[in-house]
Amino acid sequence: MIPGARLVVLGKQGAGKGTQCVRLARHYVIPHISTGEMFRAAVKGGTEFGRKAKAYMDTGELVPDDVVIGVVRERLDQDDTKERGFCLDGFPRTVAQAEALEELLSPRGLDLVLDLEVPTDVVLRRLATRRACQDCGENYSIDSPPKSAWICDSCGGEVVQREDDNVGAIRRRLDLYEKETAPLIAWYMRADKLVAVDGIGSPDDVTGRLVRAIDARRARHA
Ligand SMILES: [Zn+2]
């Protein structure tokens, strides 16, 4: 069996992608690579890339392919991802990005692309109540807050509503997601890399489904 795993998790905003990627990263001992977190860190750090990315994120727009691919390429080039793999969260978002990823990963390629399926009305309700740690990005909600009032359980950072979690921006992101990722899902389906997983239920239930799907696929290729 090849150690680690090379995974992509797709799903609309609020489908629980971040939470599940953290869990998969622990399970398979691989880095969780969240482009959203990388962008937010760059914005916070005030880097040139951060300023560019912020202009797009503030309006709910996607950051352009060439910028995103450059950042991901740098991250995938590090030793931990080369040796163990990764769980990619927020990338690829377009067919052009998926093609660039295939090229970066050649010849081994991805193990599996998981599409976390959650209906839009459920996602809207989740996002309106979502809160996230400003420092590490850990997700909470009004229904499941951190143990002590809005201080992150993992790192002690401040837990807040993300600036881009307002209804207008959420709707724009969901519309963009549908428009941009429908061809991506079709593309991965044709490549026989895609498995759809039901994202409704407790985080443990969903993680169980994801791990079963990944292990079944890896057994097939072992
Ligand atoms: Zn934190």
Beta bridge partners of residue 198, listed in sequence order: 117
Q: What is the pLDDT of residue 222?
A: 64
- Whether 172 sits among the annotated catalytic residues: the reply is no
Q: Which of 6, 12, 173, 209 is catalytic?
A: 173
115, 194 in Cβ contact below 8 A? yes
Residue tagged active-site, from 6, 12, 23, 93: 93
At residue 27, does pLDDT exceed 80?
yes
Whether 164 shows a pLDDT value over 80: the answer reads no
Share of the chain above pLDDT 70, in %: 99
- Ligand 1: distance of its center to the CA of 53 in Å? 22
Q: Identity (one letter) of the amino acid at 29?
A: V
Alpha-carbon span 57 to 41, nearest angstrom = 13
Q: How far apart are CA 204 and CA 2, in angstroms?
A: 25
Among 33-42, 135-144, 184-193, the range with the most confident prediction by mean pLDDT is 184-193
| pLDDT digit string, tens, across residues 102-136 | 999 988 889 999 999 998 888 888 888 889 999 98
Cα 9 to middle of ligand 1, angstroms: 22
What average pLDDT does the chain have?
Answer: 89
Distance CA 97, CA 117 (A): 21
| Statement: residue 1 has pLDDT above 60 | no
Give the active site residue among 52, 75, 84, 162.
162
CA distances from 6 to 31, 85, 184, 195, 201 (A): 10, 5, 18, 14, 25
Higher pLDDT, 3 or 43: 43
pLDDT > 80? residue 215: yes
Q: Tell me, what's the pLDDT at 219?
A: 84
Whole-number Å distance between alpha carbons of 139 and 18: 8
Given a cut of 80, whether residue 57 has pLDDT beyond it is no
Q: Which of 12, 17, 193, 217 is catalytic?
A: 17
Q: What confidence tier does 100 reach under pLDDT thresholds 50, 70, 90?
A: very high
Q: Is 17 a catalytic residue?
A: yes
pLDDT of 50 > 80? The answer is: no
147 catalytically annotated: no
Ligand 1 centroid from CA 101, angstroms: 29
Instruction: Report if pTM > 0.75.
Output: yes
Q: Which of 26, 50, 20, 48 is nearest to 38 (CA)?
A: 50
pLDDT for position 2: 58
| pLDDT at residue 73 tops 70 | yes
d(CA 31, CA 142): 28
Out of 34-43, 130-139, 203-212, the most confident range is 203-212
> DSSP per residue over 108-138, as a string?
T--SEEEEEE--HHHHHHHHHTEEEETTT--
Q: What's the pLDDT at 168?
A: 83
Catalytic residue check, 212 = no
Side-chain half-sphere CA neighbours of 158 within 13 A: 3
Across the range 52-58, mean pLDDT stands at: 79
Write down the pLDDT at residue 69: 87
Contact predicate 170/124, CB 8 Å:
yes
The DSSP annotation for 148-164 comes to BTTB-TTT-PBEE--TT
- The per-type count for the chain, helices as H runs and strands as E runs, is 9, 8
Q: Any catalytic annotation for residue 130?
A: yes
